[in-house]
Structure 1
């Protein structure tokens, strides 16, 4: 059985949330700096990315139309925020590998979200 486009988009969203949280946890495990972990987890942008990403992943899995619209708005905002930072890092030639993975996840999510099949599946 092939997964539906909306469920695939949901998995990509969940992978993005795991990258956000996982990056903070890896930094904590490597450095042991609890203060940095607490600070990172309390940033409004981090909390919003985790909450909205989880909400979109849940909604797309269940094929809700509101999740499609929320995902479209969220990926647009993230592409603008992350894209400007990422392009500035590329201009000096030192973008970390995790940044490439995040960029790939955002673009893949946008392409999946804009596919005709995903839009048609999210009708509830």
Structure 2
């Protein structure tokens, strides 16, 4: 009997537990692979292109980042979490910040993928 497949939330939670360098390598690999195929070998659609945006908008979106103040707060909460000092409210705040970072990473990947589909080179670091 095969075990149940992992849910996206479980995968993201596991990825968040990785060391920062491993997280960056995983993100780079996912972005690289997302830019090479629109359909996965399973026949399921891969990353979706963004439609109705200009090249300038796509380039700007592909270079977007979490606001510096929110990045600093997320790092502080991650440090507290690694020391086991996070309260319930802070855990909820950290979860919300991590979800925001995930959404931005997905939008960046979709913008880079769309640019690749248009034959444009990625102009922003992934």
From the CA coordinates, give the structure whose radius of gyration is larger: 2
Q: Shorter-chain TM-score: what band?
A: 0.3 to 0.5
Higher-RCO chain (CA-CA 8 Å, sequence separation at least 6)? 1
Query: How high is the TM-score relative to the length of structure 1?
Result: 0.37
